[in-house]
Structure formats: C-alpha cells, structure tokens
Amino acid sequence: MKTLRFAIGLITVVLLGAGYAASQWAAWTGQAAQWSAQVDVEPVQRLALVLGLAILAFAFFPESESEVAAEAAK
C-alpha cells in the first residue's frame, strides 16, 4: 500500500510540474490561448478525475499494522 501511495504521489508531482512548466512556456511564447485549448479536452479531464479519485480513495485506506510497526521500529 505504501508503494502505491508513493507512486500516485510521484505521478501527481510529475504531472503537475510538467503542466506548470508547459503552461509557463506557452505564456512566455505568447501561445497561452492555444495551450489552454489543447489541455481543455476530455482525456485530460478524465485523467484529472481518475487521479483525484485515486488520491481520495487512498486517503481512506489506513496503512497496515505491519507497515506502522516497521516504521516505529526504525
């Protein structure tokens, strides 16, 4: 479970970082309108929905007791 949480967190950070960098590049080059039209499509919206639901679902799954005990032993 811990690995899945880490993976979802890493995917989220990478996607947010790449999206922010691309939007800044588009703004600096004067292509902000084209960029916003390109990312305002259904596949991107579905990806955001799935990622948001996955984060929300993992918020309700507690860590297993063995993982908690292993962390406490360190």
Rounded distance, CA 22 to CA 48, Å? 17
Banded model confidence at residue 60, pLDDT cuts 50, 70, 90: confident
Burial class (CB in 10 A: 0-12, 13-18, 19+), 14: exposed
Q: What is the pTM of this model?
A: 0.72
**Nearest of 41, 43, 39 to residue 16 by alpha carbon:** 39
Q: Are 5 and 58 in contact (CB under 8 A)?
A: yes
What is the per-residue pLDDT for 1? Answer: 78
What ranges do the domains of the chain cover?
A: 2-61
Rounded distance, CA 39 to CA 59, Å? 27
Q: Residue 70 pLDDT > 80, yes or no?
A: no
What is the per-residue pLDDT for 59? Answer: 85
Q: Residue 67 pLDDT > 70, yes or no?
A: no
